[in-house]
Structure 1
Amino acid sequence: MEQPYIRLNNICKNYGNSPVIKDLNLSVRKGERLVLLGPSGCGKSTTLRMIAGLETISSGNLYVDNKRMNDIAAGKRNVSMVFQDYALYPHMTVAKNISYGLRVNKINHEEIQRRLKKVISILHLDGLEQRYPRDLSGGQRQRVALARSIAKQSDIFLLDEPLSNLDAQMRIGARKELLKIHQLYHQTFIYVTHDQIEAMTLGDRIALMDKGTLQMLDTPYNTYNRPSNVFVAKFIGTPSTNILGVQFKDGFLIFKEASIPAAEGWVRLIHQAKQPDLILGIRPEHVQISRTEKENSLNGTVSRIEEYGNQLGVIFTFEGAEITAISDHRDWKEGEEIFFSIDQKKMYLFDRTTTRTIGYPDE
Structure 2
Amino acid sequence: MGLLRLSRARHGSCPGFAASRAQHLHYHRRLFRAYVGFGAYIHYDFQTLNQNVWKHDITLSGGGNWEFEWYTNNRTNSFVKNGTLFLKPTLTADNIGAENVVSGTTMDLNGNEAGYHCTDAGFFGCRRTSDGTNIINPVQSARISTAESVAIQYGRVEVKAKLPKGDWIWPAIWLLPKRPTYGNWPASGEIDIMESRGNKPGNAKSPGYDTIGSTLHWGPSYQFNKFDLTHKEFKLPSGSFGDEFHTFGLEWTPDYLRTYVDEPTNVVLEVPLSKSFWDKGGFPTSINNPWEDQCTAAPFDQEFYLILNVAVGGTASYFPDDAGDNKPWKNTAATAAKDFWDAKDQWYKTWEKDDVAMKVDSVKMWKMC
Asked if Structure 1 and Structure 2 have the same fold, meaning a TM-score greater than 0.5 normalized by the shorter chain, the answer is: no
Structure (1 or 2) with the greater helix fraction: 1
TM-score by length of 1: 0.26
TM-score by length of 2: 0.25
